Amino acid sequence: MKKAWLYAAAITYTLLSGCGLTDTPNELMRAPSADGDQQSINQAVMQFLPPGSQLTVPLHPDESSAVSLQDLNGDGSPEVTAFYKSEKTDYEIGVLILSQKQGSWSKVATYTGIGSELDYVQFLDMTGDHIPEMLIGFGGGNDLNKELSVFSLAEGSLKELLKQTYSVLAVGDLTGDDQAELALVIHDHNNLTSQAQIYGVSHDKLDKIAELALDGGVNGYEQALIGKASEKQNGLFVEAGLGAHSASTDLLLLENGQLRNPLAKVEGQMDLTFKPYPLYSEDINGDGIIEIGVSTQPKGTDDLPMAAIPWISSYYRWDGAFGLTHVEDHYQNYGNAIDFRIPKKWGDRYTIEIGQESDSPIIHLLYFDEETKAKAELLALHTIPQKSWSQVEDQLKQKHAPYVLLKEEGKQVLVAISPQGTPDLDSASLQKYKAMLLTQDEIRQLYRPLRIPL
C-alpha cells in the first residue's frame, strides 16, 4: 500500500531514484570488485541489448543497479547481468547475462519476466554452496502482488529454483547461522488472508522452512526487514497498513523451526506497535539493533485535528519478552526532510508547534510545563528558499540571533535559531528551562537529513 501522505511530501526525492530507464549502463553498474574493463562492459551490454530496449533500475534495494558484475557459476570469472525494458511493451522486463572469454563477450542466458516494473534484484547465496543465486522481483504497480523468481546459473543456462507471489520481501540471516534466509509476506486482498513464509536451505536446496498466518484484514503490507531484534536474536520486522493511514508492526522470530510474534496483539489490550501514520522500523541509533517506530502526540496538542499534529517519532526496542523498551524520540518532517533527535535531557518537558507561515512554516521546539501550561522556545527550525537566505542571514546577524546552519545544498536552507533573552517563567520552571537549552555543537549532533522510505 502506498502512503499518499508521505509520497506527496517526498515526491521530489522519489523522482531522483527508483525504476528509471537509461540508454547506457554508465554509472549504473555495481561490481563486487574492480575486475573488468568499464568501457568493454558498456559496449558489450549495448551490443547485446535487443533493439528498442533501455536499461531499467530496480526499485529495491537502494543499492541495486541496472548492470551488475557477479560470479554466478563459481568459475572465478564474473558474469555481467543487465536488466532492461522494451519500448514495444509495458509488461515485460528482460534479463541479459554475458560472459567474457579471451577478451570476447558472449551471451550466456536471457530471461523475460512479466511485470511493468523491476521491483527487486539481489545476488546472494541462498543454497549454502557459496555461489550467489539471482533474486528478481517483478511488479505490476500499486496494490498488486508481485512475483519473485530465484535463479541459479548452471551449465550455461538459468535454473528457476523458486517462483512465488509476494507483497513485500526481505533477505537476511534470520537464524543467526550466517546463512541468508528469504522472507515473503503474501497478502490476498480478495480472500482477506495473509501469511509470512520463510525459505532457507533444506537438504541442500532452497525450500520453505516455516510459515505463519498474519492478519488478512489489513489494507496491505508495506515493508519487511530482517535484522537484529536483540543482542542475541534476529527477527523479521513487517510493516502493515491498517486504515486510511494508520499502521502497525509485526515482529516475527524463527525458533525451533517455528515463527512466533512476541508482540502479537492480545484481545482487549492495546496494540503495542499501533501508530496513526506509518513509521518504519530501523536501527535509529546505530547500535546494530532494529527499533520499532511508534508515533507519539506532543503534549498540549489535544485540540489539534489529527492532520495538524506535529507527531513525534518514538522508537522502541523489543525487550526480549512480550514488551518494548523506549530508546529515543525524533521529530521528523517529511516535507523538509528534517530528522531532529530529541535530547534525553528534555525528558517529557517539551512540546512542538508549527508556525502559521504560509510559505515555509517554522517548527518551534518548546519547553512545556504540563501543570501550568507555561511555554518557552528552546529552538526554532526554519527552512528558507536558497534565493532568500542571504537576506535572512543578514537579518539574523543584525539581531545578533544565535543560529546554526544545518543544510545549505539544493534549493533550500535549513537553519536552527536559538532563543534570545529570558522567558517569563517562574524560578523553578526557569531553572529547568535553562538546563534544557542546547549548545550549537549539540544542535549539529542532533540533526540529520531525513531518509525518505521508498
Task: Check residue 21 and give its pLDDT.
Answer: 56
64 pLDDT tier (thresholds 50, 70, 90): confident
Rounded CA-CA distance 393/105 in Å is: 58
Strand order in the sheet with 133-139: 117-124, 133-139, 146-154, 157-166
Rounded CA-CA distance 433/422 in Å is: 10
Return the higher-pLDDT residue of 34 and 439.
Answer: 439
* CATH number given to 41-160: 2.40.128
> For residue 203, what are the contacts with CB-CB under 8 A and spacing of at least 6?
none
The answer to whether residue 238 scores a pLDDT higher than 90 is: yes
CATH 2.40.128 boundaries in the chain: 41-160
| Residues above pLDDT 90, as percent of the chain | 77
Helix (H) or strand (E) holding 313: strand 312-318
Omega before residue 61 within 30° of 0, cis: yes
- 441, 442, 445, 449 alpha-carbon torsion, rounded to 10°: -100
Task: Check residue 113 and give its pLDDT.
Answer: 94
Task: Check residue 29 and give its pLDDT.
Answer: 55
Please give the distance of CA 392 from its chain centroid, rounded to a whole number.
34
The answer to whether residue 442 scores a pLDDT higher than 60 is: yes
Looking at 83-92, 205-214, 389-398, which range is the least confident one? 83-92
| Residues above pLDDT 70, as percent of the chain | 92
DSSP state of 207: E
Helix (H) or strand (E) holding 440: helix 440-446
Task: Check residue 156 and give its pLDDT.
Answer: 85
81 pLDDT tier (thresholds 50, 70, 90): very high
**Average of per-residue pLDDT values in the chain:** 89
Return the higher-pLDDT residue of 189 and 289.
Answer: 289
Task: Check residue 357 and give its pLDDT.
Answer: 81
Average pLDDT over residues 379-384: 96
Q: How many CB atoms lie within 10 A of CB 149?
A: 18
Task: Check residue 204 and give its pLDDT.
Answer: 84
The answer to whether residue 55 scores a pLDDT higher than 90 is: yes
Task: Check residue 12 and give its pLDDT.
Answer: 29
Cα 342–Cα 346–Cα 349 angle in degrees, nearest 5: 115
The answer to whether residue 2 scores a pLDDT higher than 60 is: no
Question: Secondary structure of the chain: what % helix, strand, coil (to 5)?
Answer: 15, 45, 45
Looking at 30-44, 101-115, 134-148, which range is the least confident one? 30-44
Closest among 411, 413, 448, 412 to 403, alpha carbons compared: 413
